[in-house]
Copies of this chain bind each other. A is one copy, B any other.
Amino acid sequence: MSLIILKIGGSVITEKSSISRAKDAEIDRISNEIVSFKKDSDSQLILVHGAGSFGHPQAMKYRLNEGFDAKGAYLTHVSVKELNSKVLESLNNAGAHALPVHPLSSCLLENGKIIDFQVGHIKVMIEKGIIPVLHGDVVMDRIKGALVLSGDRIIPHLAIALNASQIGAGSDVDGVLDNNDAVIKKITQYSFVDMRKNIKGSGSTDVTGGMLGKVSELLELANKGISSRIFNASRKGVVSRFLYGEDVGTLISDK
């Protein structure tokens, strides 16, 4: 049984410039793409979504990554859970069976590193055809008190613990872009060495952190046999095409 982990970035499903504003129509569109595929296929599926304009404003206001703040942790968690509830409602309305898994309740960090992430219940969910839906969240940390754990950081942990076959990272760009804004079709650890400097934004450390960091993390998974694709989930039909195994966005693979 193959397991796909699908990440949908916060920018795809929320208005990043507002506070706690969801793109309801986009959430419903993606739910329908997921449900159509799920009815066709016996692949297991886990969905991880970003927080976008839910959670981030609260996490910034209370400076959660500078130090522990109990009220900030509470308000951030309430906000990301509100977005998660919308995603769950949309998926279940579209005909999927989906259940939430909140990182605050299932995960523990030590100095920012995941040291415990329960997956036993997630295993039972996917075996039962249920889509577990996780999200970026505030999470307790044995040293720091509480920190923000992004959806992107959850993915590698789940992928290895549950032996995923493929990862899809849906954002609002068409894939990994080169300096001419063309999508790089494929990256392997060998091609990455030369290609690295041609990746758009690699000159500015700020922008790079995002895409170069993501590619590096996904290359590590590729070395363990878990390939991934970075694609544009804001374009209609692309999530569906990824799920059906089509050649969308940038493939990150070990061969």
State the Cβ distance, A235 to closest chain B Cβ, in Å: 29
A contact residues, range: 35 or more
Within 8 A of B (CB), among A120-159: 120-121, 124-125, 128-130, 139-142, 145-146
Identify whether the interface residues of A are mostly helix, strand, loop, or mixed: mixed
Q: Can you list, as one digit per residue, whether each of A66-82 has a CB less than 8 Å from chain B (1) or not (0)? A: 00101101100110000
Known A85-B78, A121-B140, A139-B121; judge A100-B105 contact (CB<8 A). Answer: yes
Q: Which of B73, B97, B103, B124 contacts A71 (CB 8 A)?
A: B97
Contact B97 A124 (CB under 8 A): no
Query: Which residues from 75 to 103 on chain A have a C-beta closer than 8 Å to any C-beta of chain B?
Result: 77-78, 85, 88, 92, 97-103
A98 & B74 in contact (Cβ 8 Å cutoff): yes
The answer to whether B108 touches A104, judged by C-beta atoms less than 8 angstroms apart, is no
Rounded to whole angstroms, the CA-CA distance of A139 and B121 in the bound complex is 8
Contact, CB under 8 Å: A104 / B99: yes
Interface centre among A116, A124, A125 (most CB of B within 10 A): A124
Interface centre among A105, A115, A141 (most CB of B within 10 A): A105
The contact of A100 among B104, B140, B145, B146, by CB within 8 Å, is B104
Give 9 CB contacts A-B under 8 Å. A70-B129, A71-B97, A74-B97, A101-B105, A106-B106, A106-B118, A121-B139, A121-B140, A128-B146
